Amino acid sequence: MRKTISVLLLCLTLILSCPSTALAANATTSGSTVVTIDGVDYYIDTVITEWSADTESNRAAASNTKTATKTTYIKDSSQNVLWYVSITATFSYDGTTAVCTSCSPHATAQDSQWSIKSSSASKNGNSATATATAVRSLSFGLVQEATKSVTISCSPTGEIS
């Protein structure tokens, strides 16, 4: 019995002493804008999510680094997401300048009538841009093509926009 309690206490001590990593997210949403294409209204919402690995060592190492994702959702009149394009970027900043150190695009069609034709990303200075082209199948073999870009940037003080 005493050996079992000792083993349990040892296991509990090991579990509690291991650093845990949790991703923390802080999201901001802009208001919807309406775009009319071929007589159809589409609603465009943009969300910025800042990511941080929530451990003491990561907070110290990343004090002048931020990773964030900016996503633009294209929705129908019922607010169903048809497709979206996002850019995830990591920035370094020092109070005087900011620079994008890496970026990656992501685009997904969430409606069966839409598919993603292409997506790409580029970075320049303190910003990164993702561009995606989506295609919608219409009647009689016709297609509707839409291209959307989303740009994320970081100020010298670490403000993401």
Residue 94, φ and ψ in degrees, nearest 5: -140, 10
Tell me, yes or no, whether 9 lies in a domain: no
State pLDDT tens for residues 57-100. 445 555 799 999 999 999 999 999 999 999 999 999 999 999 99
Around Cβ 121, how many Cβ atoms within 10 Å? 20
Round the average pLDDT of the chain to a whole number and report it.
80
Question: What CATH number is attached to the domain comprising 28?
Answer: 2.60.40
- Spatial strand order of the sheet with 127-137 comes to 114-124, 127-137, 143-153
- What Å distances lie between residue 5 and 9, 10, 12, 143, CA to CA? 6, 8, 10, 68
Instruction: Give the separation between CA 134 and CA 84, rounded to whole angstroms.
Output: 9
133 vs 141, which has greater pLDDT? 133
Amino acid residing at 156: P
Question: Mean pLDDT, to the nearest integer, of 131-155?
Answer: 93
Band the pLDDT of 16: cuts 50, 70, 90: very low
Instruction: Give the separation between CA 62 and CA 156, rounded to whole angstroms.
Output: 15
Q: What is the number of domains present in the chain?
A: 1
Tell me, yes or no, whether 14 lies in a domain: no
pLDDT at res. 25: 52
Query: Do residues 81 and 73 make contact, with C-beta atoms less than 8 angstroms apart?
Result: yes
Domain, as residue range, for 95? 21-153
Tell me, yes or no, whether 8 lies in a domain: no
Tell me, yes or no, whether 51 lies in a domain: yes
Instruction: Give the separation between CA 70 and CA 87, rounded to whole angstroms.
Output: 6
Query: Do residues 105 and 121 make contact, with C-beta atoms less than 8 angstroms apart?
Result: yes
Percent of the residues in the chain that have a pLDDT greater than 70, as a whole number: 74
pLDDT at res. 53: 54
pLDDT at res. 127: 97
Question: Is the predicted pLDDT of residue 132 greater than 90, yes or no?
Answer: yes
State pLDDT tens for residues 45-56. 999 999 865 445
Query: Do residues 105 and 119 make contact, with C-beta atoms less than 8 angstroms apart?
Result: yes
37 vs 92, which has greater pLDDT? 92
